[in-house]
Chain A
Amino acid sequence: MQRGSNKWISFGIDLKASKPKESVSNGVNGKDQQSARKVKNKTRPNLNLIDKLKPVHVDDLSVHVKKVKEVSTWLEQNVCCDQTGSAILLLTGPTGAGKTATINVLCKSLNISIREWINPIDQEIEGVYTQAQYSRFIEFFSLGKYVSLCQDSMSKQVLLIEDFPNFLIHNPEQFVDVLEKCTERNLSVIFICTDASNSKIDFLQTLFPQEVKEKYFITNINFNPVSATLIKSALKRAQQVIRTFSEEYKSLSADVIDAIVVSAMGDIRSAVNQFMFACLRGVGNIPLELNETTSKKRKRNEKSSAVKFMQRDEILGFFHALGRVLNPKHGDNALKKLEYDFDSLIDQFATQPSNFNAFLQENYLKYFGDLNDVRKAAEIMSTAQSFLANWSERHEIMLYALWIAVLGLMIYNEHKVSKWTQIKGPTKLKQLSNSTEVCDLKRTDYFYYNLITGTNKFHTFKPY
């Protein structure tokens, strides 16, 4: 128990590992602990490394210079100048691309104060929950015009929304009210949307469709993952910061930094976190052999060019995965083996086998170049579908359907057509409901009804 908590704390930035007894937390002495921490912070002001590592100047940002320029131009044009009318900026990009940091740094340098929406922790009893959150969110915008008293009254203010309130997940249509409010009150608002793999929480899709963007003149700036060189230079800067606190942190060798850069996959936040984690290892009462094994592990993994146990999950988009299955790449060797990690591929879509299969079925024809291959693939799809027949069936059985369909399509696609084709969604089969007037007729007899009454009440099939 003691050991376990010890580990957790050592991961934390506050270096409480040096006092492991404190880590046993329970509700009773929570307050004492807090005060204890305060005292400790006073005595050792250098502990909050994460703040130290935060970029302060525009030059410190690990974002491409032109991107920063783009954002700062927007801020200058829309916030600094006395403008009339609202200004809405939408920042998009993957996690750890430096979106928030860019805004923070730029606003500081331009003397703009930021008023950020943080989701309140609701005390309401459930039921009135949605309304309360909604009205609070609207209220936030209503008050957005007034600069805080603590701030320099001359400075401009922007509203920042990164923490989208939950009610928007269920009722995205209410978001229009918010945007209306912004325009009405001539606010400058910045929305930060992180790319999401799950379509349900993909605010970019649900809240900012193209027509909304056009209607409210929303500027969209998309951030790319941070490039490896930029991460590396950021970590170098971090090394310099650390050297000033050399009694707590050890500086890392170039090998370790390289491994971190690779495994971060363009996520600067993950890179910095890993960096700090690695630094901490050398400190205080952490056993030395543990230190050794980690470094060994790193070195070993470096050959495969990534830090394995801290690697970010590779998130495979739905369409990306479809493309992989429909467009399989065979290895260069004579056997033409497919080199994929099928397990992880299947795993990603284990929750929606039926949907994935429907997508595959809709699109596979375009990727095949031979009738015989298509025949095999169609049979495989049919076999797979028969596993999905009973929707209430146990989930493992539905997984078989996924396996069969994915492997079948990949293996049988021997004469691949390699050209770009648009992926289509599965055809919606919403059958037309029974007409109220002629209930007794079967659908197969509607044709005669048309013929007899001389109307075109029902659809007629036109053989060509």
Chain B
Amino acid sequence: MSLWVDKYRPKDLSKLDYHKDQAENLKKLTQRGDFPHLLVYGPSGAGKKTRIMCILKDLYGPGVERLRMEQLNFTTPSKKKLEIMTVSSNYHIEINPSDVGIYDRVVVMDLIKNVAQTQQLDVNGQREFKVIVLTDVDDLSKDAQHALRRTMEKYIANCRLILSANSTSRLTPAIRSRCLGIRVSAPTITEIVTILQGVCKREGLNLPTELAQRIAEKSNRNLRRAILMCEACKVEQYPFSANQNIAEPDWLLFIRAIARKISQEQSINTLASVRGDLYELIIHGIPNTIIFQTLVSELVKNCDITLKATIISQAALFEHRLQHGNKAIFHLEAFVAKYMYLYKKFLEDTIGDAF
């Protein structure tokens, strides 16, 4: 059984549901048969991956859809063995180098060298280059980005890179300037509603517009999540009703619970237990930025407006450090401690004023 997200993913540039102008341009790009390195960026669930696959299909034909999973092994100079999963076809290889943490540099360099040094044999007039798709490049370490920059230039003759990132802010200018940037913005609510209804129609289901609207709003303009939510709703209850329950992600509820805990009691014990919860989130792969952002927005909800400003400015400070640092827990904890302190002080002050 495949998920609706996979099942109804557009496979062709001409079949994309939104950003049609951009699709048009991409089509022209591939028709030329050659293109520079690409940097596709935009929020999560906006359709970056879909567009990348469409471009590849346009270039190489349906052969790119025959995917295989492979585990590649790398050895660092310090003889540490690394394993990383890759998805590849005959024409491209997709890899997420940040899976190996600080050793991403080795993976980036070795992979590109390996791919680029094997010349494409001229099988019935194929392209003379292969494509390497790197996902989550904004999580790459500085070292890896520098390595990438050099290898990108060196092997341009027989390989092209397509980078996918959520934001360009963490990429070095050197990388940005070597790529053609393609911004994929999130679909609007109305676009999501139309797509959801289209999907349901093809499934032979009847989706009330109100429910579609609610799902679209809850999904935070994340199309992938919207479709998943819709499918989850279907599993839960069909036929749909307009005001049925839409399941929210468990981690969101989890963070909300953490926020509640923090607001209820400001003490060292709470801080210690919050740390445990944060560790759970981090270990299970929820991205640090998402944890931080959700936590801040949940915490700020129960704050007075004067307090809000201080907390947001503090959040900005620690989030900045988190972006640069390597151990998120330090900064998350520092922020929680700061919040607790400010919140407690505020409460004490207001109670003091009341008397």
CB pair B224 A434 closer than 8 Å: no
Q: Does A335 contact B (CB under 8 A)?
A: no
CB pair B6 A452 closer than 8 Å: no
Complex Cα gap A453–B280 (Å): 23
CB pair B251 A444 closer than 8 Å: yes
Listed residue (A384, A439, A447, A461) with the most chain B CB atoms within 10 angstroms of its CB? A461
CB pair B275 A442 closer than 8 Å: no
Q: List 19 A-B contacts (CB under 8 A).
A: A365-B268, A375-B337, A379-B338, A382-B330, A382-B333, A383-B321, A386-B325, A439-B69, A440-B5, A440-B6, A444-B249, A444-B290, A448-B232, A448-B249, A449-B3, A451-B236, A452-B231, A461-B251, A461-B253
Known pairs A445-B225, A451-B232, A452-B235; A461 contacts B337 (CB<8 A):
no
User: A418-443 vs B: 1/0 string, CB under 8 Å?
Assistant: 00000000010111111010111111
CB pair A368 B228 closer than 8 Å: no
Q: What residues of chain B lie closer than 8 Å to A336, measured between beta carbons?
A: none
CB pair A443 B285 closer than 8 Å: yes
Complex Cα gap A449–B321 (Å): 33
Q: Does A320 contact B (CB under 8 A)?
A: no
CB pair A429 B268 closer than 8 Å: no
CB pair A375 B338 closer than 8 Å: yes
4 pairs of A and B residues whose beta carbons are closest in the complex: A382-B334, A448-B228, A461-B254, A463-B257
Known pairs A390-B142, A427-B279, A448-B229; A381 contacts B330 (CB<8 A):
yes
CB pair B283 A429 closer than 8 Å: yes
Give chain B nearest CB distance to A338 CB in angstroms.
22
- Residues on A lying within 8 angstroms of B by beta carbon are 358, 361, 365-366, 368-369, 371-372, 374-375, 377-379, 381-386, 388-392, 427, 429-434, 436, 438-445, 447-449, 451-454, 458-464
CB pair A443 B272 closer than 8 Å: no
CB pair A459 B284 closer than 8 Å: yes
CB pair B256 A463 closer than 8 Å: yes
User: B35-48 vs A: 1/0 string, CB under 8 Å?
Assistant: 00000000011000
Give chain B nearest CB distance to A368 CB in angstroms.
6
CB pair A448 B279 closer than 8 Å: no
User: B241-263 vs A: 1/0 string, CB under 8 Å?
Assistant: 00000010111011011000000
CB pair A445 B224 closer than 8 Å: yes
Complex Cα gap A377–B254 (Å): 26
Q: Does B191 contact A (CB under 8 A)?
A: no
- Residues on B lying within 8 angstroms of A by beta carbon are 1, 3, 5-6, 44-45, 49, 69, 85, 87, 96, 99, 102, 141-143, 224-225, 228-229, 231-232, 235-236, 247, 249-251, 253-254, 256-257, 266-268, 271-272, 275, 279-287, 290, 318, 321, 324-327, 329-331, 333-334, 336-338, 340-341, 344
Give chain A nearest CB distance to B271 CB in angstroms.
6
Interface residue from B87, B271, B286 paired with A439 (Cβ < 8 Å): B87
Looking across the interface, which residue of chain A has its beta carbon closest to that of B323? A389
Q: What residues of chain B lie closer than 8 Å to A385, measured between beta carbons?
A: 321, 325-327, 330-331
Q: What residues of chain B lie closer than 8 Å to A388, measured between beta carbons?
A: 325-327
CB pair A462 B340 closer than 8 Å: no
Complex Cα gap A452–B330 (Å): 35
Complex Cα gap A366–B224 (Å): 43
Complex Cα gap A361–B333 (Å): 10
Q: What residues of chain A lie closer than 8 Å to B87, measured between beta carbons?
A: 439
Looking across the interface, which residue of chain A has its beta carbon closest to that of B229? A448
CB pair A432 B268 closer than 8 Å: no
CB pair B268 A447 closer than 8 Å: no
Interface residue from B85, B247, B336, B340 paired with A433 (Cβ < 8 Å): B85
Q: What residues of chain A lie closer than 8 Å to B235, measured between beta carbons?
A: 451-452, 454
Q: What residues of chain A lie closer than 8 Å to B333, measured between beta carbons?
A: 361, 378, 381-382
Q: What residues of chain A lie closer than 8 Å to B44, measured between beta carbons?
A: 442, 444
Known pairs A382-B331, A385-B325; A432 contacts B283 (CB<8 A):
yes
Known pairs A382-B321, A433-B99; A461 contacts B281 (CB<8 A):
yes
Could you list 14 further interchain pairs (A-B, Cβ under 8 angstroms) beyond the known A361-B329, A379-B334, A447-B251?
A365-B271, A378-B271, A378-B330, A382-B334, A385-B321, A386-B325, A389-B325, A390-B141, A431-B284, A440-B5, A448-B232, A451-B247, A452-B232, A461-B253
Q: What residues of chain B lie closer than 8 Å to A384, measured between beta carbons?
A: 330
Give chain A nearest CB distance to B193 CB in angstroms.
19
Complex Cα gap A384–B321 (Å): 10
CB pair A375 B286 closer than 8 Å: no
CB pair A371 B267 closer than 8 Å: yes
Give chain B nearest CB distance to A71 CB in angstroms.
42
Complex Cα gap A464–B318 (Å): 27
Complex Cα gap A463–B250 (Å): 8
Q: What residues of chain A lie closer than 8 Å to B281, measured between beta carbons?
A: 461
Known pairs A381-B334, A440-B6, A461-B253; A374 contacts B283 (CB<8 A):
no
Interface residue from B49, B247, B253, B286 paired with A444 (Cβ < 8 Å): B286
Known pairs A361-B330, A389-B326, A439-B87; A382 contacts B318 (CB<8 A):
yes
CB pair A429 B282 closer than 8 Å: yes
Complex Cα gap A460–B52 (Å): 31
Looking across the interface, which residue of chain B has its beta carbon closest to that of A365? B272
Give chain A nearest CB distance to B3 CB in angstroms.
6
CB pair B284 A432 closer than 8 Å: yes
CB pair B268 A374 closer than 8 Å: yes
Give chain B nearest CB distance to A372 CB in angstroms.
6
Looking across the interface, which residue of chain A has its beta carbon closest to that of B69? A436
Complex Cα gap A462–B250 (Å): 7
Give chain B nearest CB distance to A456 CB in angstroms.
12
Q: What residues of chain A lie closer than 8 Å to B236, measured between beta carbons?
A: 451
Give chain B nearest CB distance to A288 CB in angstroms.
56
Q: What residues of chain A lie closer than 8 Å to B85, measured between beta carbons?
A: 433-434, 436, 439
Q: What residues of chain A lie closer than 8 Å to B266, measured between beta carbons?
A: 371
Give chain A nearest CB distance to B267 CB in angstroms.
6
Complex Cα gap A429–B279 (Å): 8
Known pairs A378-B333, A381-B330, A442-B44; A434 contacts B321 (CB<8 A):
no
Give chain B nearest CB distance to A33 CB in angstroms.
43
Interface residue from A366, A371, A432 paired with B341 (Cβ < 8 Å): A371
Q: What residues of chain A lie closer than 8 Å to B247, measured between beta carbons?
A: 447-448, 451
CB pair B326 A391 closer than 8 Å: yes
Q: What residues of chain A lie closer than 8 Å to B228, measured between beta carbons?
A: 445, 448-449, 452
